[in-house]
Amino acid sequence: MTAEQTSATDTGRAGPSDPRWVVVSSLLLALVGLAVSAYLTYEHYSASTTLACPENSAINCVKVTSSSYAELLGVPVALLGLLFYLGVTALCLPTAWRASSPWVGRIRLLAAASGVVFVLYLVWAELFRIDAICLWCTVVHVITEALFAVVVLAAALVPMEPLEPARD
């Protein structure tokens, strides 16, 4: 076994470690998503209309956040976003990126992909059902898409270790 193979085995990764920019950018995106989601959750539960968003026909945060699409099965979408970003933040911590389990990278990728799917649903609801856009929601949507791009790029740059070791 070569030194490079030994090092890859010790770290639980199939190749070299993730580039530093991947770890830093994913964590920063997750933290900003967490902060904006926390703000939207606070606004939801305080029944406040201080979303600092213009109210016109196309941009109207209050219309979006008080619509029937602002809840899913009785759970506020803002709270779902907060919970999502709590989990994603944990998955984007440097220790999670260095985790020896191949499951962590797969869970991070699955979480990011599910976030994008949910964002597509929410954008569809804003554009075609509510007829208004929430700028705060759009910030979360863009962050979710950017985070997905970073996680997918990381997976492409550093192949994931197989879930089960190859048998000889």
Question: What's the full length of the chain, in residues?
Answer: 168
DSSP 65: H
Tell me what percent of the residues of the chain surpass a pLDDT of 70: 81
63-84 pLDDT, tens per residue?
898 899 999 999 999 999 999 9
> Residues 6 or more apart from 36 whose CB is under 8 A from it?
136, 139, 140, 143
pLDDT score, position 127: 95
Q: What is the mean pLDDT of residues 54-64?
A: 83
pTM: predicted TM-score of the whole model, two decimal places: 0.80
In order of their start, the domains of the chain are 19-157 (1.20.1440.130)
Q: Residue 16: pLDDT above 60?
A: no
pLDDT score, position 165: 57
> Residues 6 or more apart from 37 whose CB is under 8 A from it?
78, 81, 82, 84, 85, 140
Q: Measured on CA atoms in the order 33, 82, 64, 42, is the torsion positive or negative?
A: negative
Band of the pLDDT at 162, cuts 50, 70, 90? low
Q: What is the mean pLDDT of residues 93-109?
A: 88
Q: Residue 7: pLDDT above 60?
A: no
Q: Residue 86: pLDDT above 60?
A: yes
Distance of CA 101 to the CA centre of its chain: 20
Q: Residue 5: pLDDT above 60?
A: no
Phi, psi of 161 (to 5 degrees): -70, 145
Check residue 12 and give left, alpha or beta (phi > 0: left; psi -120 to 50: alpha): left
Band of the pLDDT at 31, cuts 50, 70, 90? very high
Band of the pLDDT at 40, cuts 50, 70, 90? very high
Compute the mean pLDDT over every residue in the chain, rounded to the nearest whole number: 84
